Amino acid sequence: MLDVTFGIPLVVLSDVGQAISLLLIGGGLLWIFIRSLKAKEVDRRVVFLFIFFAVAAPILFPITFQEKATPIVKKLFDKVESLPAGSKVLIAFDFDPAMAPEVQPMANAFTRHCLVKGYKVIFMSLWATGQALLTQTLERVVKGEFPEKQEGVDYINLGYKAGNEGVLNVIVTNFRMMFPTDVNGVPLDSTAVFDGIKSCGDLDLIISVGGGKPGIKEWVLFVGDRVNVPMGAGVAAVVAPQLYPYYPKQLLGLLGGVKGAAEYESELVKHYSRFEHTDTPGLRMMGPQTLAHVVIMAFIVIGNISYFIGRRRERRR
Amino acid sequence: MRRTTIIAMAVVLGLFILSWILRSASYVTVQEHYLIGGLKVTFSAFLTLAILSFLYKDNPFYKFAEHLFVGVSAAFWMSMGFWTTIVGNLVPRISQSLSEFFQVPYQPGSYNFVYFIPVILGIMLLMRLSRNRGWLARWPLAFIVGTTAGLNFVRYLRSDFMEQVSATFVPLFVDWKGVGYFISHFSLSASGQFVAIVANWVIFLGVICGIIYFFFSKEHKGVFGAASRVGIWVLMITFGASFGYTVMGRISLLVGRITFLFRDWLGWIS
Amino acid sequence: MRRQIPLALVFIFGVFMIFQYFVPHESSEWIYEFLLDWIYIIGIFALALGIWSLIRVSVAKIKTRKSGWGYPVITMAGLFLMILFGFTGYRDGSWGFHFMTAEGLSNPMFRNFFDYIMIPIQSTMFALLAFFIASAAYRAFRARNVLASLLLVAALVVMLRFNPYLGPFGTIIADTASWLLNVPNLAAKRAIIIGIGLGMVGTALKIILGIERGYMGKG
Amino acid sequence: MKCKSLVILLFVCGFFALAAAEEGSGPPDSTHVDSIPPPTPVSMLTARDSENDHGHSVTLMWELSTDDGAGQNSVLSYEIFRWVPFFMDTLQSIRDSLAGAEGTIAEQLRKRRDQAIAMIPGAHKSYPEQGGWRKIGTALSGQSSYEDVGVKDRGSPDYMADHTDYYYLVDAVTADPAIRAPSEIVGPVQSFGQFFNTGRIPVFVAVLVFGLLTILFVTRARRGAELYVRPLAGIEAVDDAIGRATEMGKPILYVLGLGSAADIGTIASFTILGRVAKRVAEYQTKLIVPCYDPIVMTVAQETVKAAFLDAGRPDDYYEDIVYFVTQSQFAYVAAVNGTMLRELPATNMYMGVFFAESLILAETGALAGSIQIAGTDQVAQLPFFIVACDYTLIGEELYAASAYLGREPILLGSLKAQDYAKAAVIILAALGLLAASLNWTAFINLFSVTS
């Protein structure tokens, strides 16, 4: 059989509901396609029904499609994948609750990836409202999924610091001037994570997750451009186009919106079997989207086929 | 019709009882009585389904939801308008006793008398209901139209005209450092010079051709006609792309509604 | 007189608003703010006219007792119940005529009607778009001629971003889609906006000069 | 009376002077010794009235500290201080007590506040006595300017009086707030409002040019110059659509959209409605106009009434041709949708300002089998009308429609003026392109509106 999927399994199925609903949608489309060859028009209610199923089925039976990572995501994933164990990675949570549904899955995926690779992770936030979301990730992902990791040894939470890009201006030369201690008041010098880190230049990778100001742009301008540290980012879909110009020179890779998150999660699940049963909100949210888009596109194709066949028939007459 | 109505009602009721049984445990945390809470959610779900049923055809459920919504929303905006604009903005400026009656802080000022003018204009507007004083209603309309026309005149001249025109002032040869440099650094990547140059050319020509398409007083013939045709092509490509791009957002809306039905109402998913 | 005075008002206020745009001084700003406040206040009086129209049309339908006369009854019931909830409430330990406070309207039923009637219907109406965008695409995206084909192809390219099974073509599609959305899109929108800007400015000027008076009932 | 209040004020002043002295005012001294050496202060600090505004604002500018982004790179931010007389605390205490006061007491306090405000410039004259430095804001490292924007509301603690002598200084601050370097003091400087916004001169010129162009072509058209206009499919469809409705004995639905009477798009729609209503009256077809905005409803009623009068059929007019539905977007849409499926109009016209509902309306209309003509100036909704309607007036064509339908020479004349403006745009764009390519910033700056 022709490998139309380019080596990726079509869809990850785990229960009967998923299989039945996909069969229903696929079979239905096929039936309509065959009808369209006789130049029959489809009633719009049929289109409505398909859209309803295409959206409802993945919600009821979380169908996740394997996302093929686009180069802009893949490059970042490969970079995180290829660092040596013990590398120092900074993840910045520069977002607020309004943006969180879109970008927090990315932050969680980055966190999982870094921890599973055994890197030392530094968490911080330039947004006052980001601190609570950072704590959420620490509780659920770090402490919940990686109980063996120790605070201070494997990761550290610097928390929120006021001053926007001013903070970056300082940590680019000296972390301790801005953060004498971590969020719990432990001096940085006494932590293993900060052993050998003076400034941002001593990090191996910086990942900023956000979508507003200060955010990725500020990280690039104030840190990335000044010290030679690779940078990656995850952003809300609306701001992604403004950041494309930074790729691939100033940003190694960029995750834009739910789709970017889904692609990264997909890569993560593909590489690490331990994440097979972790919640992947990016992929989950992409299920209805993908299916609905496919259905709409299928109907456009079907419509054109019946249109052309009908026209040819009329000409013959 | 009556029979299908009864069947549909029975289905909704059945689903409600089902969801009630499924979810009765989860209502314990809610402070409200679970029956009341369940009824509220069920009514919302019923209205949701009633609107969705419109997709099949116009039916009594849709008519019910539609008419209810019209009445409730009209009253909603009237109440909000009364409390925020009349009580919040007007009353504190024109009358101390009314302010005390509505319990809003009185804000006296030496020029507050001007607030009687909109009241007078508003009453003139109500004159429409009178048969022979109806022409008075034109005064407030003239005031509103004149004020906003003047406001829009300068506002759009600036934002939709001057700023858009000056935004087209882009160099056609971005970072031009000679032909040799251009050829040696040629790349198709998104951040390359070639792509940037093409983008600026397309934007410039697209804007010019688009504007030519909108010429009314010149026949679209010859070169002019060709340019106007290119203009409408660019417009069509744009409309298609925007349409395709919007699909994502619209699907998200439906995801929200279906999640409400499955999670908040039926409790099938967590 | 019935026509001249309104036209003069349009001219005076229109010209004033143009000039105030160039005068940053406090006095001009002050008048500007007053004028905008007035528009809102007049709007509430107009809303009363609107409600009156709604009631009249509904009552007329109910009176005829033609089929479906029950539905306007529902409209009226919703209207009067909501008005009742909007103007009464629970305050300081007793029910009665009530006042809006900083926290909003204090009648819990007002809140309930908003949360459980207005919100679900509103968001479901909005969600209908997901269906209509599909049916519109099916019905209209047919390669009938050059223009329709361009429309169709551009839409398909952009939608294809969501197909995960394109393999190496995925990148090309994604790049083309973002190019379409960033480059020609910008050009076309700018051309339309410049046209709209000119049209608006021209119309506004005609209104101020009294050339366009369709809004005043002289067609 | 004035004398008495002055005594009270002075007394209160003294009290606050004591309180403030105890608090310790002014920029803290850098006595604290730490690992960070003190940075160099900012230089060339200047203060002047902010340009092109209503007053109540002063702009400060300085050259960065040499330790900002260079040198020791220790400067994290700049703190801006203004000299504030103790008298301002008195004023604030009056404001505070006014906030809780009612009735006659409030009136007295308000009078007292206004007297105190009149005394602000005088109080600043006493510099540097009877006052202290107060931090008013922070600028981040790398920033070399700060706008001290006060408000004009006299009741606000941020009120900043015009024509008053202000004094400023700027501290370069490090990560340790105790380690800082103050600048030289600047002042006195006064804020005041301007009568002409020089930043908007380009717009002013455009207003004049466009105004003259329109007047020129309208007067020419009045003299009877023949004008060509190209055909617009959407406009020609209007007449056919009315004829079709008459033949079928079905109504015409005219939707004015979600705009208010203040939107130019809606006003253009009124004119089109007028033309349509006139034909409808002539053909004796039924017209339905549901409205979203009550003022729009009022205007539309006037328009339709006048059109019926024009057509010589005032008796056929009744008030409920144009009716109000509700001022809620989707409730309005729900009702119009219902009307479409129940009345099955031969033609639906959507003219004016539309938002997300555009596609819901147009698809339901297509379902009902109506011919649909749309026109909107909302760029985001155009794709949906183009896809779902039979004819769409794109943007500017909506405004042109009234001139087309009426065929009045004056209105057509203004179309000509718009075309000339478009030609000017094309020439300007070409020149601008040259300017951008050859770096003629002077030309580009001619079009930049700065405030």
Distance (Å, whole) CA C50 – CA B57: 29
Does residue B190 register a pLDDT over 80? Answer: no
* Strand (E) or helix (H) holding D60: strand D57-63
User: D404 with D235: CB under 8 angstroms?
Assistant: yes
Residue D448 at interface with chain B, using a CB cutoff of 8 Å = yes
Per residue in D270-326, pLDDT tens? Answer: 989 998 999 999 999 999 999 999 999 988 998 999 899 989 999 999 888 999 999
CB atoms within 10 A of CB B246: 19
Instruction: Give the separation between CA B238 and CA B214, rounded to whole angstroms.
Output: 16
Interface of A with D in 173-192 (CB under 8 A): 173, 177-178
D287 at interface of B, judged by CB pairs closer than 8 A = no
Residue D319 within any structural domain of the chain: yes
Q: What pLDDT was estimated at residue D33? A: 42
Residue B80 scores a pLDDT above 50? yes
Residues B30-79 pLDDT 10s:
455 566 777 788 889 989 999 999 999 898 999 999 999 999 999 988 88
Tell whether D107 and D132 lie within a shared domain: yes
Tokens at A263, concatenated: 């692609």
Residue C93, pLDDT score: 65
Q: Where are the alpha helices (DSSP H) in B138-221?
A: 138-156, 163-167, 179-184, 193-213
Q: Do C142 and A307 touch (CB under 8 A)?
A: yes
Say how many residues make up chain B: 270
pLDDT given for residue D197 in this prediction: 85
**pLDDT for the residue B27:** 46
Question: Alpha-carbon distance D329 to D260, whole Å?
Answer: 12
Q: Give the residue with greater pLDDT, D99 vs C193.
A: C193
Using DSSP's 3-state secondary structure scheme, residue B176 falls into: coil
Residues D202 and D169 placed together within one structural domain of the fold: no
D315 shares a domain with D252: yes
D344 neighbors B58 (Cβ within 8 angstroms): no
Q: Which residue of D has its CA nearest to B161?
A: D425
Q: Do D362 and C136 touch (CB under 8 A)?
A: yes
At residue A198, the 3 state secondary structure works out as coil
Residue with more model confidence, B174 or B213: B213
- The whole-angstrom separation of Cα C56 and Cα D383 is 37
Tell me how far apart the alpha carbons of residues A257 and A103 are, in angstroms, rounded to a whole number. 7
Helices (H), D284-408: 294-310, 329-343, 357-367, 382-388, 396-406
Task: Tell me the H-state helices in chain B.
Answer: 2-23, 34-52, 60-81, 91-94, 96-102, 116-126, 138-156, 163-167, 179-184, 193-213, 222-259
Expressed as residue numbers, the domain containing D182 is 43-189
Domain boundaries, chain C: 1-66
- Record the tokens describing residue A10, joined without a space: 């079509």
D6 is a domain residue: no
One domain for residues D316 and D242:
yes
| CATH code of D360's domain | 3.40.50
* Each residue's pLDDT tens digit, B133-145: 778 888 898 999 8
Q: Which helix (H) or strand (E) is D186 found in, with range?
A: strand D186-189
pLDDT score recorded for residue A7: 43
User: How many beta carbons lie within 10 A of that of residue D156, not counting itself?
Assistant: 11
What is the sign, positive or negative, of the torsion defined by CA atoms of D292, D295, D301, D302? negative
Closest CA to D61 of D49, D51, D47: D47
Peptide bond before residue D128 is cis, with ω within 30 degrees of 0: yes
Average pLDDT over residues A18-23: 84
- Which amino acid does the sequence have at C94? S
Contact D113, D154 (CB under 8 A): yes
Mean local confidence (pLDDT), D134-146? 84
Q: Verify whether the Cβ–Cβ distance C203 to D267 is below 8 Å.
A: yes
| Contact (CB, 8 A) for C43 and B81 | yes
Task: Choose the mutation target among A51, A55, A246 for the interface with B, i.e. most B CBs under 10 Å.
Answer: A55
Chain D residue with minimal CA distance to B150? Answer: D262
Whole-number Å distance between alpha carbons of D238 and D254: 11
The Cα of D258 is separated from the nearest Cα of chain C by a number of Å equal to 14
Q: How far is CA C11 from the centre of its chain?
A: 27
Residue C49 confidence (pLDDT) above 70? yes
- Closest-CA residue to D60 (of D121, D129, D130, D138): D138
**Structural domains present in chain A:** 10-63+281-316 (no CATH), 71-275 (3.40.50.10160)
The answer on D362 and D266 residing in a single domain is yes
pTM: 0.85
Is some CB atom of chain D closer than 8 A to the CB atom of A317? no
The yes-or-no verdict on residue D97 having pLDDT over 70 is yes
Say if D25 falls within a structural domain: no
Q: Work out how many domains chain D is built from and give that number.
A: 3
Structural domain contains residue D425: yes
Query: Three-state SS for D154?
Result: coil
Residue C219's pLDDT band (cuts 50, 70, 90):
very low
**DSSP three-state, residue B59:** coil
Average pLDDT for A212-232: 85
Return mean pLDDT, chain D. 84
Q: Are residues D374 and D276 in the same domain?
A: yes
CA distance D360 to C126: 8
Structure-model confidence comparison of residues B88 and A136, the more confident one: A136
Answer yes or no: is pLDDT of A221 > 50: yes
CA distances from C44 to A262, B89, B96, B135 (A): 48, 12, 21, 19
The CB-side HSE value for A302 (13 A sphere, CA atoms) comes to: 28
Is B169 within 8 Å of D299 when comparing Cβ atoms? no
Spatial distance between the Cα atoms of D315 and D323, rounded to a whole number of angstroms: 18
Question: Same domain for D254 and D399?
Answer: yes
Nearest CA in chain A to C138: A300
For residue D3, give both structure tokens.
Answer: 């004398």
pLDDT for res A242: 72
Q: Kindly provide the b/e burial profile for residues A247-265, where b requires at least 16 CB atoms within 10 angstroms of the residue's own CB.
A: beebbbbbbbbbbbbbbbb
Instruction: Please check whether residue C162 touches B, CB under 8 A.
Output: yes
pLDDT in tens, D198-234: 888 888 888 898 888 888 888 888 787 677 888 888 8
Structure tokens at C177: 């889609």
Mutate to test the interface with C, among D324, D381, D404, D422 (most CBs of C within 10 A): D324
| Mean pLDDT to the nearest integer, A272-291 | 86
Measured between alpha carbons, how far is D89 from D82 in angstroms, rounded to an integer?
14
